[in-house]
Amino acid sequence: MSKTLKECRIPPKKRELFLQMRIETSEELLSYYPFRYEQLQCKPYDEWKTKDRIVIEARLITYPRSFRFKGSRTMTKFQVENEDDVFDIVIFNRPWASKMELGQTLTIIGNYEGNRKITAIQYNTKPLNEQLGIQPVYSLKYGLTQKNIHECITRCYETVRNEIADDVPSEYIRRYRLLHKRDALRMMHFPKSNEEVAQAIRTLKYEEFLKFHLAIQLIRKQNSESVLKEGKHFDFDDVFRLANHLPFPLTKDQVKAVNDILEDLQSQKIMYRLVQGDVGCGKTVVAGLAMYACCLAKKQAALLAPTEILAKQHYQSMKNLLKSTNLRIEVLYSALPTVIKK
């Protein structure tokens, strides 16, 4: 499926911008998914309220005038007319808007400010009826616009759509009622409804997790055959003796998870495990008991957290769990003074 962006007829300047985003092939560009979607609906003028997001099709009746302020920022003003009324339009940082010609028919998307005033977010000359419905919104970088990205993805998809192969086996596609990859990409970038977006996300997420699972299985298999470690020495009873001091009994699933982890720690194979569960189901206790087993084996253990707040919460949880032992417990995060970190 994969072709270069040049083969997909992406202009040179756009290819340079995509290269800065580490996008070099059709596969990478088609994997640049929208981060949200907008529903464009044409609401009757008499239903407009201040701050509403509106879309109108109207004819340009005054020459646009651009003004500079705060350095390089610009503000462009003009008037448009449709069958409902005459509207004053303001759009920021679009100096090229001053080159529009009188009589042009524009589609304007923006926020209604009341008194027939609209702050435009974007405008184009494409007929309104071709733009209504659900529209993808992409993360913008390096000067690219939504129009740029949409046009490039359109060219890319049209070039390779007949060559897009399924990475998920056909048996799984049938069993789990997934889409074919070509259809999923079409619905992701050019959806006709929210239902199509949901179907595309479901299929692409399944593919991503399947690839991740297979990669982990491959690494696990390779390491089990070639990488061995020294098993840790500790007594299971000592670990569960600590668990008996908890103010609540472990659930059957927690006991099983702890047993599986302890067996891995004592073996010569590298452990690859994911503990999955809802918030508050007791995953931290399982991790704490595994860390305690490492300490019983005369080793150190560390629990990593993505935020300072979570690190502090885990620190307090570990203190409560291990308060009956003489183990030293510390917490480290970036805001701590350097002296304490050392």
**Owner of token pair 């472990």:** 250
Evaluate whether 315 touches 328 at the Cβ level (below 8 Å): no
Average pLDDT, the chain: 88
* C-alpha to C-alpha distance for 229 and 243, rounded to whole angstroms: 27
* C-alpha to C-alpha distance for 265 and 273, rounded to whole angstroms: 11
pLDDT in tens, 34-65: 999 988 778 888 889 998 888 999 999 999 99
Domain ranges of the chain: 42-130, 236-341
Tell me the pLDDT band of 91, cut-offs 50, 70 and 90: very high
pLDDT in tens, 124-167: 888 888 878 888 999 988 888 888 899 999 999 999 999 999 99
User: What's the pLDDT at 341?
Assistant: 67
Specify the pTM.
0.60
**Token pair recorded at residue 227:** 């990488």
Q: Where are the alpha helices (DSSP H) in the chain?
A: 12-20, 26-30, 146-160, 170-175, 181-189, 194-226, 236-243, 252-266, 283-296, 308-321, 338-341
pLDDT in tens, 259-293: 999 988 888 877 878 888 888 788 888 998 998 88
Let me know the angle formed at the C-alpha of 317 by 313 and 318, rounded to the nearest 5 degrees. 120
For the cut 80, the answer to whether the pLDDT of residue 229 exceeds it is no
Domain 42-130 grouped into CATH 2.40.50.140: yes
pLDDT in tens, 170-202: 999 999 999 999 999 999 999 989 999 999 999
